[in-house]
Structure 1
Amino acid sequence: MFGPQVFLRLFVRINQDLWPWQLLAVVVSVGMPLLLLQRDLRASRLAVGLMAAAWASSGYGFLVGYFGPINWPAAWFGWAFVAQGGLLAAAVLFGGVHGQTLRAKQLTLFWLVAVCGLPWLVVADTGDWQSVALFGVAPGTTAAAGSLAVALMTGPWRWLYLPLLVLWSLFSVAMFWVLQTWWLLITPMATLLLIGAGLWFSPKPEQNSDSQSARHGPAHQ
């Protein structure tokens, strides 16, 4: 239905059409560590809420608005991205975000690698800096960085959040392989690795029980 040049051109088009509003995405991307490092429930909720907005904006903006007209499965994924954003918003409103201690410094490091490194893979394929794939604009970068949200979510919400991440990664690998856009294959593989990192950084049940016993121990004594 389309060639690699047509697909890669979409990133240039959306950046040109959005200018200068995508600077807000840059501010959110770089500022997110300030929320992750606070280890506060309100900060965690705000972080997940911003990720929800990024899922919805990249899904509707890029996949439905730009990619969908030349690739109908992309439009379906676009609406799934919007629903994923709704899921995160619901998690914020209905207790799906925890305020427990996690490995915030490591989580922040992985976040910065994702939002600062992955956007330039499209540039490596096109040679045009205007094709940079920003978090909140490009679906691949959004899904990769957004996969770290599993570290902030409680169990049931986390497992509802995971299927689209895996399906999108598999779809992306197949598409990039057919298009022979080899640099872009790194993004879905990074998404799968970041899912594992998010699960690893999330609080473990034994850690939670230990912290609770430490808080309640003096009272019992």
Structure 2
Amino acid sequence: MFGPQVFLRLFVRINQDLWPWQVLAVVAAIGIPVLLFRQKRFERRLAVGLMAVAWAVSGYGFLVGYFGPINWPAVWFGWAFVAQGVLLAAAMFSGGVREAALPSGRFVALWLIVVCGLPWLAVAESGQWQALALFGIAPGTTAAAGALIVAVITGPWRWLYLPLLVLWSLFSAAMFWVLQAWWLLVAPMATLFLVGAGSWLSPRTAQSPD
């Protein structure tokens, strides 16, 4: 339906069309880990709320608005991203966010690798710095960062949150394989790895030796 250059051009187009609003995406990428490690419950929930907005914006903006016209399954995933954002918002308001402290150093290190490193994969593949795949705009980077949020979601909300991470990773990996966009294959593989990392970083319930 399309070639790799057509797909990579989408990143350039959305960055050109959104400029200078990408600054808000950068602020959100910085603000989420800062808010997660604040002491107040409201601030942690606000971090989850920002992640919910990132899911919805990247889904509707990139997948439905830009990618959907050349690849109809992307529209379905776009609305699934929006639904993922709604799910996170529901978890935020219904007590589905963990109150226990996270191992901040490891979480922040992984988060920075995702939001600072993965956006450059599209640049490496296309050779154009304007193709930067920013968190909150590009679905691959957003999903990879969103995988780490597994660490702060609890109860049934976590199990409802996981399927899209896996399905999107498989879909995008298959697409990049067909397009022979080898650099971009790193993003879905990283997402699956970070699902496990998020579960590992999630605080465990303290148990008595008895």
Match of 2:3 in 1: 3
Match of 2:169 in 1: 169
Give the Cα separation in 1 of the matches to 2:24 and 2:113: 19
Q: TM-score, normalised by structure 2?
A: 0.96
Match of 1:88 in 2: 88
Match of 1:190 in 2: 190
Q: Once the 2 structures are TM-superposed, how far is the Cα of residue 113 of structure 1 from its aligned partner? A: 0.6
Pairs within 5 Å for 1:51-130: 51-130=51-130
Give the Cα separation in 2 of the matches to 1:162 and 1:32: 20
Does the 8 A contact of 2:29 with 2:115 survive in 1? yes
The answer to which of 47-56 and 92-101 deviates more is 92-101
Q: Once the 2 structures are TM-superposed, how far is the Cα of residue 108 of structure 1 from its aligned partner? A: 1.1
Give the Cα separation in 2 of the matches to 1:25 and 1:54: 8
Give the Cα separation in 1 of the matches to 2:109 and 2:47: 15
Match of 1:145 in 2: 145
Give the Cα separation in 1 of the matches to 2:153 and 2:81: 18
Give the Cα separation in 1 of the matches to 2:104 and 2:36: 6
Does the 8 A contact of 1:100 with 1:203 survive in 2? yes
Give the Cα separation in 1 of the matches to 2:204 and 2:89: 24
Structure 1: tracts of 5 or more residues without a match: 211-221
Alignment length, in residue pairs? Answer: 208
Larger radius of gyration: 1
The answer to which of 124-133 and 93-102 deviates more is 93-102
Does the 8 A contact of 2:32 with 2:51 survive in 1? no
Give the Cα separation in 1 of the matches to 2:198 and 2:190: 12
Match of 2:199 in 1: 199
Counterpart AA for 2:62 = F
Does the 8 A contact of 2:172 with 2:188 survive in 1? yes
Counterpart AA for 1:123 = V
Q: Once the 2 structures are TM-superposed, how far is the Cα of residue 86 of structure 1 from its aligned partner? A: 0.2
Does the 8 A contact of 2:37 with 2:101 survive in 1? no
Give the Cα separation in 2 of the matches to 1:169 and 1:5: 21
Give the Cα separation in 1 of the matches to 2:195 and 2:75: 24
- The answer to whether the aligner puts 1:134 opposite 2:97 as a matched pair is no
Give the Cα separation in 2 of the matches to 1:87 and 1:32: 17
User: CA offsets per residue over residues 95-150 of structure 1, 9 Å max, x none?
Assistant: 11121122122111111110000000000001111100000000000000011111
Does the 8 A contact of 2:57 with 2:82 survive in 1? yes
User: CA offsets per residue over residues 160-211 of structure 1, 9 Å max, x none?
Assistant: 1000000000001100000000000000000001111100000112x3x46x
- The answer to whether the aligner puts 1:47 opposite 2:50 as a matched pair is no
The answer to which of 99-108 and 13-22 deviates more is 99-108
- The answer to whether the aligner puts 1:28 opposite 2:31 as a matched pair is no
Counterpart AA for 1:204 = R
Does the 8 A contact of 2:37 with 2:44 survive in 1? no
Does the 8 A contact of 1:115 with 1:141 survive in 2? yes
The answer to which of 25-34 and 3-12 deviates more is 25-34
Give the Cα separation in 1 of the matches to 2:164 and 2:15: 25
Give the Cα separation in 2 of the matches to 1:142 and 1:151: 16
User: CA offsets per residue over residues 63-117 of structure 1, 9 Å max, x none?
Assistant: 0000000000000000000000000000001111121122122111111110000
The answer to which of 168-177 and 37-46 deviates more is 37-46
